[in-house]
Amino acid sequence: MLHRGDCHCGNVRFEFDSEPDVHVHRCNCSICDRVGFLHLIIPRSAFKLITSWDELTTYTFNTGVAEHYSCKTCGVKPFYLPRSNPDGYSVNFRCVDSATFAEVVVTDFDGQNWEENAGALAHLSQDSSGSGLGPGSSE
């Protein structure tokens, strides 16, 4: 099923394929706790940015592996490339039109102890197609 999302001002718009029943994670790590990010991790191949990547700014910290994308205009972080799932995106469920979902289960994730717990998330972005629509992809 196709779902759509955007930032607050609408300059960043995206869509993705996902089941209508989803499991999202509420993380208590330093960055997620501050911005209220609810993680819906999807394969890169399921994600499509509708607007230009030029509308986004990138923030990295600590290991520099995760790429946090925020709208240059309103500052909202609608999605990012997570270190735990480099073959996927973590979409901020708070930026998604939730009316297209049938059931949403929210589970707490202990991000304060990220290194010990990240493996529990690694399977969430697995996709057999292996193609992506993010930076560096050919589409």
C-alpha angle with apex 9: 39 to 29, nearest 5 degrees?
A: 25
* 9-122 CATH, one of 2.60.40.10, 3.40.470.10, 2.30.40.10, 2.170.150.70: 2.170.150.70
Residue 87: predicted pLDDT: 93
Domain boundary assignment for the chain: 9-122
Across the strands, what pairs with 34? none
What φ, ψ does residue 87 adopt, rounded to 5°? Answer: -100, 15
Residue 120: predicted pLDDT: 83
How would you write the pLDDT of the chain (139 residues) with one tens digit per residue? 999 999 999 999 999 999 999 999 999 999 999 999 999 999 999 999 999 999 999 999 999 999 999 999 999 999 999 998 999 999 999 999 999 999 999 999 988 988 888 878 878 887 533 333 334 333 3
**pTM, to two decimals:** 0.84
